[in-house]
Amino acid sequence: MSRPSRNAQSLSRQIEAVSPLSIGHRFRIPLKNETIAQSQVRFDDEDEINQLPGLEKSIRQLDNKLPQKLTVDNCYVEKKISLRQNLRGDREHATRFLLRDDGPIDRIKKLYHATAKTLIHHENTSPYIRELNRCFNLLETSDGFDSHAKISHEEASQKIDEANAALDTFRSIISSPDFKEKNKAIQQSTERRQRELKRWFNSFWHHHARLSWLHIQLGYQKVRHRDAEQILADRKQLIEKCKNHPFNQNRVGYLSKIQYHHVKGLIIDFIMLLDTENDIDCDSQRENLADLWHQIVDTNGSPGPKGAVWAEAASPKAFTINGIWDREDQNFHEHLMHMIRYLSYHDRFLRADLPHHARSLSKSGPASAISS
């Protein structure tokens, strides 16, 4: 398998350098008067996927922060404790062992709990996250690894043997050729998506100095909705209806990406690029798109959940993709990297479960193809 080109590596470094995956994760306000429970539509600014790149990096670097072999001395702290009084009224004392704060096992436990938070809802994520969770599940199920447990030296030695066996298994898996090949394939797929998106976005600025961007999320009124066939069919109808809708005359391009959100489930990030030379009411365009989605989902006669459309919550500190972009703007390149990162990193850290033949990304042709 060929190595990525120097340009591809440069693009990856640019994308890695931008701030967290904030785009699309302030989409927690439902448009119109949709009857969705508040817990389903309002989320913290710090969305779960924002944490996943850092979590994978910490797992990759874990071995650098651990001793080659875990021992009772480097994982536990010795403590004298008082037992109940004996028959003579004297207190008996015993030596017990507690896990060290920020010791090797404590560090692994913190990473394990972070992986469990992700995998409790969705397993199609980073191989590093999956394998650490699988190998160190015993840290959650065994009492000897409780941070408050006071155990004997014999019990501590037994727990250390279990932890070393799990650590050896984890090291063996992530150093195996099969694991490296799988992870490399995911990385290369992400880089290909990034290059594809950058070419597509840039094609429009060869023909337009300024464009208005409209970005909303489309989904369903059900927590963690996972019906891939339904969302693929509904997206196909939406794109067909958009082509024949009056607002299409101002559109120069569109992009739709099926993503997995850890609470909303399968969603569509829909982005429209609009010509700013005409007088455009973006709020009206957004409502038109929401109406089309509801027409498709709510009137298709299926017993499935109703449609949901999320708008972006206002936040003066947060970066937003919505609005007019000017290629002469000094922040233009950074904004583009934000969007490319958001649209490509789901494939690496929280992939949607779609049929093998299905494509998560659907977009219009590049500007050169449209204008010809």
* pLDDT per position as a tens digit, 43-80: 444 466 677 888 899 999 998 889 999 999 999 999 88
**In this predicted structure, which of 11-25, 197-211, 236-250 has the lowest mean pLDDT?**
11-25
Mean of pLDDT values over 274-279? 73
Res. 125: pLDDT tops 90:
no
Residue 314: its pLDDT value, please?
54
Q: What is the pLDDT of residue 91?
A: 66
pLDDT above 80: residue 13: no
More confident residue, 175 or 114: 175
Give CA–CA dist 213/320, Å, rounded. 10
Which pLDDT value is given to residue 104?
92
Residue 14 has pLDDT above 80, yes or no: no
pLDDT of residue 215: 84
Taking residues 33-48, what's their average pLDDT?
Answer: 45
> pLDDT (tens digit, 9 = 90+) per residue, 164-187?
999 999 999 999 999 999 999 998
Q: Could you please report the per-residue DSSP string of 252-267? A: EEEEEEEEEETTTEEE
pLDDT at res. 33: 46
What's the mean pLDDT in 188-211?
Answer: 86
Mean pLDDT over each residue of the chain, to the nearest integer: 78
Percent share of the chain, pLDDT over 70: 76
pLDDT digits over 207-260, tens only? 888 888 888 889 888 878 889 999 999 999 999 888 887 777 778 889 999 988
> Among 109-118, 129-138, 242-251, 336-345, where is mean pLDDT lowest?
242-251
Q: Which of 76-85, 186-195, 198-207, 345-354 ranks highest by mean pLDDT?
A: 186-195
| Cα dist from 68 to 71, 107, 171, whole Å | 10, 15, 11
Q: Which of 98-102, 303-307, 343-347 has the weakest average pLDDT?
A: 303-307
Is the pLDDT at 276 greater than 50? The verdict is yes
What is the Rg, in whole angstroms, of the alpha carbon atoms belonging to the chain?
Answer: 26
Q: Which residues contact 307 (CB under 8 A, 6 or more apart)?
A: 218, 219, 220, 221, 293, 294, 296, 297, 298
The pLDDT assigned to 181 comes to 96
| pLDDT score at 131 | 93
